[in-house]
Amino acid sequence: MAATLIFWAIVLLTVVSAAWVVLSQNLIYSAVSLLFTFIGIAGLYVFMMADFIAATQVVIYVGGILVLIIFGIMLTHRITHVRISHKSVQRGIGALGAILILMGLVKMIITSPWRVIHSPDPVGTTAGIGKLLMIDYLLPFEVASVLLLAALIGAARLARKGD
């Protein structure tokens, strides 16, 4: 019972803060709501027994990407503007299209005959993920590291002032 309550509280936190990310007129408020969305999604991962991915979500999204986004905001707006506002355009048409897409997706989800395999709760996923990464997915793992290096060099080269 308590677990169900916590689950729906996390769902509410995730969806409301995600809505605030796209509706707020203040860029800093959007960034802070994004923080709560990421934390809520990490909570949902915990409910789906994905402990390693939940920790990765907190470390990389909250600790890395969000800090990067806030750096981006600070570097691209005059810091004297305390209220960094940003307007939205064509909200009506955008909302209409988004709601139509949501209705289509929900109809597809509800009517599809998903084949669910019930399995016991695992005691931890880290060992299994490690084995898969080092055996079945070794090449994508190495390619991802090369991609990270390329992005590091590329981003540093792009963001440098002057040529």
Supply the minimum distance, in Å, between the C-beta of residue 83 and other proteins: 14
Nearer to other proteins, 9 or 154 (CB): 154
Q: Which is nearer to other proteins, 9 or 122 (CB)?
A: 122
Residue 53 near residue 45 (C-beta atoms within 8 A): yes
Shortest distance, position 142 Cβ to other proteins, whole Å: 12
Nearer to other proteins, 9 or 99 (CB): 99
Shortest separation between residue 113's beta carbon and other proteins, angstroms: 11
Task: Give CA–CA dist 78/21, Å, rounded.
Answer: 21
Which one, 79 or 159, has the nearer CB to other proteins? Answer: 159
Q: Give the dihedral of Cα atoms 14, 16, 17, 23; nearest 10 deg.
A: 140
Q: Which residues contact 31 (CB under 8 A, 6 or more apart)?
A: 66, 69, 70, 73
For residues 62 and 31, is the Cβ–Cβ distance under 8 A?
no
Whichever of 9 and 148 has its CB closer to other proteins, that residue is 148
Q: Nearest approach, Cβ of 50 to other proteins (angstroms)?
A: 5
Nearest to 133 by CA among 56, 46, 65, 48: 56
Smallest distance from other proteins to CB 133, Å: 7
CA 11 – CA 31 distance, rounded (Å)? 19
